[in-house]
Structure formats: structure tokens, C-alpha cells
Amino acid sequence: MRHFKLTIAYDGADFHGWQIQASDKPTIQGEIVSVLRRVTQENVLLHGTGRTDAGVHALGQVASFRTQSALSAGEFQRALNALLPPTIRIVASEEVGPDFHARWSALGKTYRYRLYRGKVVPPPLWRYVLHYPFPLDEEAMRTAASRYVGPHDFAAFAASTGSEDDDKERSTVREIYASELARSEDGEELVFTVRGRSFLRYMVRKMVGTLLEVGRGKLAPDDILRLYEQRDRSKSGPTVPPHGLCMVEVFHDEAWRL
């Protein structure tokens, strides 16, 4: 068997998330698997680093698969890009060692959320930004963003599993390596960038919603520390819409390279 790593970019607006679903709803993983099985004539399994939700975009999602096909990494990239919809692109394809796994070999991920601050959103941007033209205390938001750095219990920033027992059993401690809020170069956007080992479902979107509550004056920056202790989802900010979120990059140990 041979092993391959794909780096994938996609516009998530027309898809029901990354993961294949039991229904016929289109997903990123489903589209890629369909083409891989067509190209290899094998029942290929594709593993992604993270399961982005419906409407979330990616510039650097990573996936891995194994095959007996004789195709080279470059040939896989060309075949996939020829047959996939233009909203999904394979930006890199590499043959890797057998120990590489897109999810289990990942050391960290970077996400970005974009808030458009201008009065009118340009039509090419509306699928990728949350429009928020109202007053915000951006300095307080930047201070609050720094409170996310470090290992913390992010229970207040996570979606429920749907089961009270499962919610009690799972670990909600995550480590954030970097967290920053900054204006874009053109000054029209407020961009939240966060890097961590792993993330809970809806966690980044709840983090952004909480920063907005700080910007509105409904929470203070140091209330972030209180939220860790309370572990209560109802006390943090709302879950902002998915379309402003993008998985920017995934980091892996270099040991997997052939």
C-alpha cells in the first residue's frame, strides 16, 4: 500500500460540512472520495484533520488516504482537480510514509474569522465575512482575545454533544498557542486568528461571539477567566455564523516525509 497526503482548499458555502453524511447532501469529503474511487477503482477511505461544519471554508485542510494505485502524487492532484467542482481544489499532493495520519499526526491548526466593519459588504466578500458595522470597543476585544492563550477548560465555548452524560464524561480542556485580533491591511475587516492543538465543535465561533459581547460592553476582558471556571455555555457569547470562518493551516510533524 502507498500513502498520500492532500492539502485542500474549499468554499464551504454550497456544502454540508466536511464529513460524509448518511443523506445525499453534498460534503467535501464525499466529493473527494467519489473521485478517488473513480480514479483508483478502489474503496478508498479519506481521513481529514478536522471536520469543518456546513458553510465553513478552508485554505489548508489536510487529508490522507492509502491506495495500491500506481499514480504519482502529481497525477492524483491533476486528476482530482480535473474532476472535482471548482469550489474544491487540491493545492498540494504528496506521497508520505505509512505512519502519517491527517488527524492523529496533526500538531495544531490555525483558524481565522473575518468581521467586515464597513457600511456595505462588497458582493465578492459576502460569503466569507460576518457583516458587523456597529460600534465596538476593539481595544477591549484585543485584550480579551489574549485571555484565550494557554491551556483552559473551554466547556463554556463548546456545543453540547446532545447527551448530558457524554458532556460530563468528555474532556473540554484545550490549549491555545496564539490568539490575535487585528485590522486587515485595508482597514475594512477585523480578523480573529487563533492557533491551537485541537478545537471543540463550534469553539472558535463561540470565542468570536464572546469577543463581540466584550466589544459591545456586555462582558469585560477578564470575564473570559470567569467563563472557564463557570463552564456554562449560556454565559458566553453567541455562536456566530459559519461563513466567516476558515481553516487556514494544519501543522504536522516533519517526520512523516519520505
| Alpha carbon distance 4, 96 (integer Å) | 5
Q: Of the residues 11, 14, 24, 53, which is catalytic? A: 53
Which SS3 state, helix, strand or coil, does residue 198 take? Answer: coil
| Alpha carbon distance 188, 46 (integer Å) | 38
* Active site (annotated) includes residue 222: no
Q: Tell me, what DSSP letter sits at residue 19?
A: S
Cite the DSSP H helix spans in the chain.
Answer: 28-40, 73-83, 138-146, 164-169, 203-215, 223-230
Give the three cell numbers for residue 106.
496533526
**DSSP per-residue letters across 124-175:** GGTTT-EE--S---HHHHHHHHHTT-EEEE-GGGS---S-HHHHHHS--EEE
Whole-angstrom Cα Rg for the chain = 19
| Alpha carbon distance 83, 14 (integer Å) | 17
Nearest CA among 177, 157, 167 for reference residue 249? 177
184, 214 Cβ separation under 8 angstroms: no
Catalytic residues: 53
